[in-house]
Amino acid sequence: MSEPLPVRRHAYVKYLYGLESALRSDNGARAANARRALACLRHSFVEGRQYQAYEIVLQQDPPQDQAEVETWLLVGGLFALHPLSWKSSGPRTLGASLGRLQRKLDSPAVGRRLSLLLAKDRQTLPHHLRQTIRLLSAHDVPVNYDQLLDDLVVLLGRDHRSDAASKVRLKWAQEYYMPTSATSSKESKELSPGPSETTQ
């Protein structure tokens, strides 16, 4: 019997974090296997090669719901583009990551990026998410993939026009605009996750 969906989602993201941890392993075979798995997950974005990502994701006990399986594939691909996660008791949405990037770059382009994400529908949002993750990767800004999966299940699923989706977008905006004083002390204590920091 399968575990409840929230447990399965967390287990999937924990698996992804395990790949990131394996990349830094002294075990050459383990690191090589992780690199291969991440390469396959990146193929979820390559027309005609998505099947390589299917094998990995479908072994992680996703639900039968087609929209959610597609979301798991998307999050796996995004993680493979930027396998840098954070652990924080404070802000944790993609808006928080973009807020951190804004404090780092002090550029109006970051705010425009958030506005684009908040305005996109379920058909166009994945494309803009890929661009956003690449931007965060270029500046070593971490992403909370547990939270991202939960949020995208709503934004890309059957409830994409619901109040729940509006609440997700509002939370992204709130955490982006959160005053520096509310986040700086937590950020200053955060480091890139070590082997013991790959789960929530």
Q: pTM value?
A: 0.88
Q: Where residue 110 sits, what CATH number does that domain have?
A: 1.10.520.40
Host domain of residue 103: 5-197
Average pLDDT over residues 74-82: 97
> Can you tell me the mean pLDDT for 76-100?
91
Q: Cβ(17)–Cβ(195) under 8 Å? A: no
Name the band, by pLDDT with cuts 50, 70 and 90, for residue 81: very high
* Total number of domains in the chain: 1
Nearest CA to 10 out of 144, 162, 107, 183 is that of 144
Task: Tell me what the pLDDT averaged over the chain comes to.
Answer: 89
